[in-house]
Amino acid sequence: MTTLFTNIRIFDGTPNPARAGSVLVDGETIARIAYAPDTIDPATADVVIDGHGGTLMPGMVEAHAHLTWGSSVEKIYHAFILPPDELEVAATRNARVLLDHGFTSAYSAGALGDGIEVRLAQAIEAGLTPGPRLIPSTLERSPEGAEGVDTGDVFNGRGPDAIRAFMAYCAKEGIGSVKLVISGEDALKPGSAQDILYTDAEMVAAGEAARAHGLFIATHCYTPRAIALAMEAGARILYHCSYADAATIDAMAAKKDELFYAPGCGVSVAALEASPPPHIDMSAMKASAAERMALESKLVPALKARGMRILIGGDYGFPFNPNGRNARDLAHFVQYFGYTPLEALAAATSLGGELMGLPVGQIREGYLADLLLIDGDPTADVAILQDAGRITAIMKGGAFHKSPAETRAA
């Protein structure tokens, strides 16, 4: 099956300006790209789609996905922890919601239920349920007790041997990325972001075991020491890093070719905007969010200037920050971090594709045809992408999840 997109402006996923042209998809991949004045003969395609001057762009990548954090734009849960059956239903719904909103790939930043994301990734791959390409995780692993924040589990104990056993378990279960919570979380327990929840020996064991089993590591870390532990363990992606100092920025920049960073600003902005009912106390979360945004408004531009690969993804799934609003991160990057719209779009597409380790995130010959057709020009205004109605077509692997209103046989 071949599909030709014509009368479009092409944003290819890089910080290059969009250009008029046409794109031919053959099977699940992008077969040919022609920029005006060059054209592609419609007779070479089974189906021709007139984009009416809209923008064809790569599908977006959510780099900090929490599909088991139940709330979405379609259903809000006011309980964070759900019964196992409902949690699975919510995760399946959230996968479809992300795809509905233009996210064709997702890198998990941890789950609230064991095994759910693996089953979901397998179902998506088999075409049994709609959703983005998913690198699944298991329970966010964070030490529990007085020194920690109960956002995860340590069901196989503490110490280097327990960490090795956990990594072996994850590999056996089909996990792609293991989420380790190294710092505490001020938003949940004030003052705990300065805590270090793992020993040096545990983190060394985590890195060794992850490499042995071919697993990625994703880390929740705030302070220089937590960031250093994450990097020493060979983490693929660091989240937050709000308290990074100049030496830490240097250390992160030195690993820019093997490391990704996602500040997670979505949840901070949403917390500051939230107007909870009187019986819900968000004061600690709001104070933490304000401090983090102030720090990250300096940190993110500093790392960007050093060539760090910085990705969107902002802890979506809370009732005040539901799944489906993920594209807000692009506008946050522009407003708070000084990105141009093109730079924000690249963070959501090509850089996200690099994180996934898949040929996605670019309109490039030979890449998977994960594409969005947009009514308008997101390279001028990224806020367009917050309106799912402006996404007139969603293609994943050459197949339409959302078909355009007008198609015709060639």
HEC string for the chain: CEEEEEEEEECCCCCCCCEEEEEEEECCEEEEEEECCCCCCHHHCCEEEECCCCEEEECEEEEEECCCCCCECCCCCCCCCCCHHHHHHHHHHHHHHHHHCCEEEEEECCECCCCHHHHHHHHHHCCCCCCCEEECCCECECCCCCCCCCCCCCCCCCCHHHHHHHHHHHHHHCCCEEEEECECCCCCCCCHHHCECCCHHHHHHHHHHHHHHCCEEEEEECCHHHHHHHHHCCCCEEEECCCCCHHHHHHHHHCCCCCEEECCHHHHHHHHHCCCCCCCCCHHHHHHHHHHHHHHHHHHHHHHHCCCEECCCCCCCECCECECCCCHHHHHHHHHHCCCHHHHHHHHCHHHHHHHCCCCCCCCCCCECCEEEECCCCCCCHHHHHCHHHEEEEEECCEEEECCCCCEEC
For 113-122, the pLDDT digits (tens) are 889 999 999 9
Q: How far apart, in whole angstroms, are the C-alpha atoms of residue 170 and residue 150?
A: 20
Q: Give the pLDDT mean for 181-187.
A: 88
Among residues 394, 386, 345, the alpha carbon closest in space to that of 18 is found at 345
pLDDT band at 184 (very low <50, low <70, confident <90, very high): confident
The band of 320, judged by pLDDT with boundaries at 50, 70 and 90, is very high
| pLDDT tens column, 153-175 | 556 678 999 999 999 999 999 99
pLDDT band of 206, cuts 50, 70, 90: very high
**Does position 213 have pLDDT exceeding 90, yes or no?**
yes
Share of the chain above pLDDT 70, in %: 95
**Domains recognised in the chain with CATH numbers:** 2-58+359-409 (2.30.40.10), 60-326 (3.20.20.140)
Predicted pLDDT at 139: 83
> What are 353-382's pLDDT values in tens digits?
999 999 999 999 999 999 999 999 999 999
The average confidence (pLDDT) of the chain is: 94
Model confidence at 287, pLDDT cuts 50, 70, 90, reads very high
Dihedral of CA atoms 139, 140, 143, 149 in degrees, nearest 10, equals -120
The pLDDT tens digits for 127-149 are 999 999 999 998 887 765 444 44
When pLDDT is averaged across residues 293-313 and rounded to a whole number, the result is: 98
pLDDT band at 109 (very low <50, low <70, confident <90, very high): very high
- As a whole number, mean pLDDT of residues 327-342 equals 98
Q: What is the pLDDT of residues 250-282, one digit of tens each?
A: 999 999 999 999 999 999 999 999 998 888 889
Determine the pLDDT at residue 149. 45
The pLDDT, as a whole number, for residue 336 is: 98
In percent, how much of the chain has pLDDT > 90?
A: 85
pLDDT tens for 226-243 read 999 999 999 999 999 999
pLDDT band at residue 308 under the 50/70/90 scheme: very high
Q: Is the pLDDT of residue 289 over 90?
A: yes
Stretch 309-326: mean pLDDT, rounded? 96
| Mean pLDDT (whole number) for 36-56 | 96
* In the predicted structure, residue 405 carries a pLDDT above the cut 80: no
Residue 108 has pLDDT above 70, yes or no: yes
pLDDT at position 81, please? 83
What's the pLDDT at 141? Answer: 78
pLDDT at 154: 59
